């Protein structure tokens, strides 16, 4: 039986900094003395490097982790086209299934103290005709960390995502506010509303970061409780 902690990291939308936040979580865990790894079960958008498809987000997660577990384990499904995963999978003749992902996660959990499993896009993004990330998170039985991209509309997106997580019987372990819009108005008021309405603790506020330095930003984070 796996004894290491693991969480599923989702976001309020695409391009809101899930990978950045996941890298920050990795650095925060490593700073606490933990062996930390991340996983990108499904990535859409890759280039050929040394004869294989490689996704940029997967490389970032690899670099931020405690050690190299192998890209095949970190990223079991790597699709070439930078489009919705279920469309890319259909075009490339790939059927995305839980068991290869579960097996890869088990390998990571056997080597690390904690593992962060990063989705793609939002919580309910499809992976196939009758399969999506929400189903994957439920089948892996992982608590969820929600990355909220702080921009106009984020409150509705965050609350709907929290409802979707609860509807699948999963625990929202915490949420991270990522300040992706340097021009956003009333940030403090938006944060206060989210803190009041989201049924989970705020793990930290990641500052607007034009330098893209998740290691520095990690000092703003608290790790979720492993329950």
Question: What does R_g of the chain's alpha carbons equal in angstroms?
Answer: 16
Count of CB atoms situated within 10 Å of the CB of 1? 4
Packing angle of the helix pair 154-167, 133-140 (nearest 10 deg)? 50
Task: Kindly list the catalytic residues.
Answer: 40
Residues 6+ apart with CB under 8 A from 90: 128
pLDDT of residue 225: 86
Place of tokens 């990795």: 26
User: Residue 25 and residue 176: Cα distance in Å, rounded?
Assistant: 10
Count of CB atoms situated within 10 Å of the CB of 118? 28
pLDDT of residue 227: 55
pLDDT of residue 3: 63
Ordered mean pLDDT values, 10 residues apiece, the chain (227 residues): 82 96 98 97 95 95 98 97 97 97 98 97 96 98 98 97 98 98 95 98 96 95 85
Read off the pTM: 0.96
In the structure encoding, which two tokens stand for residue 114, read together?
Answer: 């904690």
pLDDT of residue 172: 98
């Amino acid at each position: 039986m796996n004894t290491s902690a693991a969480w599923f990291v989702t976001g309020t939308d695409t391009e809101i900094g899930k990978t950045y936040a996941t890298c920050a979580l990795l650095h925060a865990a490593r700073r606490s003395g933990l062996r930390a790894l991340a996983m990108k079960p499904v990535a859409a958008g890759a280039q050929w490097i040394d004869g294989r498809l490689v996704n940029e987000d997967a490389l970032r997660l690899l670099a931020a982790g405690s050690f190299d577990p192998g890209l095949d384990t970190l990223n079991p499904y790597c699709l070439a086209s930078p489009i919705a995963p279920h469309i890319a999978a259909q075009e490339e003749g790939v059927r995305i299934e839980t068991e290869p992902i579960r097996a890869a996660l088990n390998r990571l959990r056997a080597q690390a103290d904690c593992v962060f499993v990063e989705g793609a896009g939002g919580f309910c993004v499809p992976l196939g005709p009758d399969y999506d990330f929400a189903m994957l998170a439920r089948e892996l039985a992982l608590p969820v960390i929600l990355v909220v991209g702080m921009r106009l509309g984020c409150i509705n997106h965050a609350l709907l995502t929290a409802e979707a997580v609860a509807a699948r019987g999963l625990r929202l372990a915490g949420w991270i506010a990522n300040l992706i819009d340097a021009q956003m108005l009333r940030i403090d008021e938006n944060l206060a509303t989210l803190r009041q309405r989201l049924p989970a603790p705020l793990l930290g506020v990641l500052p607007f970061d034009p330098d893209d330095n998740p290691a520095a930003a990690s000092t703003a984070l608290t790790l979720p409780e492993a329950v």
